[in-house]
Structure 1
Amino acid sequence: MANTSLPGRLDQAQPYVIGLFRIVIGFLFACHGAASLFGVLGGMAGTGATVDAGTWPGWYAAVIQLVGGGLVMLGVGTRSAAFIASGSMAYAYFVEHQADGLFPLENHGEASAIFCWAFLLLVFTGPGGLSLDRLFSRSQETTRPRRTSVPA
């Protein structure tokens, strides 16, 4: 019998909601990287400017944002990409923003703090539904021969 209670239906939808969360967070993060690297979407901080190639930490952060955000959005290596992205945002918050004040509203580090925690959540939840990793793992399961005997 199908679970028709609200908590039961919410539990059934959970992988897809996590997947949607992952897609949106990854997309927004990748947009930050694209803006910093290529000047699209208004460029860095809406100025149209780009970060100079190879400069520390801005260029490396933008590459992590673009590549990590894209991987998370697609659901490829989600846990690893999210771990690196979370760490980069923790660095951004504590090194770049916190000198201007303790709280995110004071130091303009809200985006760094939110991205840090969102990616850390994805490290623990995994990609959820609608990920390329899940699609690839299912196709491999159907092509692998099943072992019928128990090894000694």
Structure 2
Amino acid sequence: MQVLERFQREVIAVFRIVVGFLFATHGAAALFGVLGTKQIDAFVWPSWWAALIQTIGGALVMIGFGTRYAALLCSGSMAYAYFTVHQVDALLPVQNGGEKAALFCFAFLLIAFLGNGAWSVQRAAKTPAQAAVATK
């Protein structure tokens, strides 16, 4: 099991990058009408704002800048989406089509608690002295 612990920070970073990328592309597709998705009308509540949060929040999480705050916002937006859009139809995600919302919600909650992992813009911007203090 030491092998799993040895690469824990790198795996957390890869998880963060992949989840952020998937979320950002999901939002960008709706926001800009690309990748086979119909464009959402500007400033329409809540769909346009959700797509904006997905695009910007996903990008911030992906690059590792303000990760914990962005991930918490993304998690909350998916909880809101689940309970206002999906859960009204049925209790379980498999019944109401809310699997993506539930998975994104908990993936971002996990990222908010775990942080950036090994690689991030925020980590690269720190001076060596700041990095030493942050790891203690």
TM-score range, shorter chain: over 0.9
Distance of 2:35 and 2:117 partners within structure 1: 29
Which amino acid in 2 is paired with 1:112? A
One of 44, 69, 76 as aligned partner of 2:65: 76
Q: For 1:55, what is the secondary structure of its paired residue?
A: coil
Equivalences, count: 130
Match for residue 30 of structure 1 among 20, 24, 30: 24
Unpaired runs of 5+ in structure 2?
A: 131-136
Which of the two has higher C-alpha Rg? Answer: 1
**Aligned pair partner of 2:9 in 5, 15, 19:** 15
1:40 aligns with: 34
1:103 aligned to 2:97? no
Q: Distance in 1 between matches of 2:122 and 2:6?
A: 20
Q: Percent identity?
A: 55
| Structure 1: segments with no counterpart, 5+ residues | 1-6, 44-48, 144-152
Give RMSD over aligned pairs. 1.1
Q: Distance in 1 between matches of 2:73 and 2:103?
A: 15
Moved over 3 A (4+): none
TM-score with structure 1 setting the length:
0.83
TM-score, normalised with respect to structure 2: 0.92
Q: Pick from 113, 117, 126: which aligns with 2:102?
A: 113
Give a deviation string over 1:91-142, Cα, whole Å, max 9, x none.
00011110110111111100000000000001110010111111112xx235
Distance in 2, matches of 1:40 and 1:111, equals 19
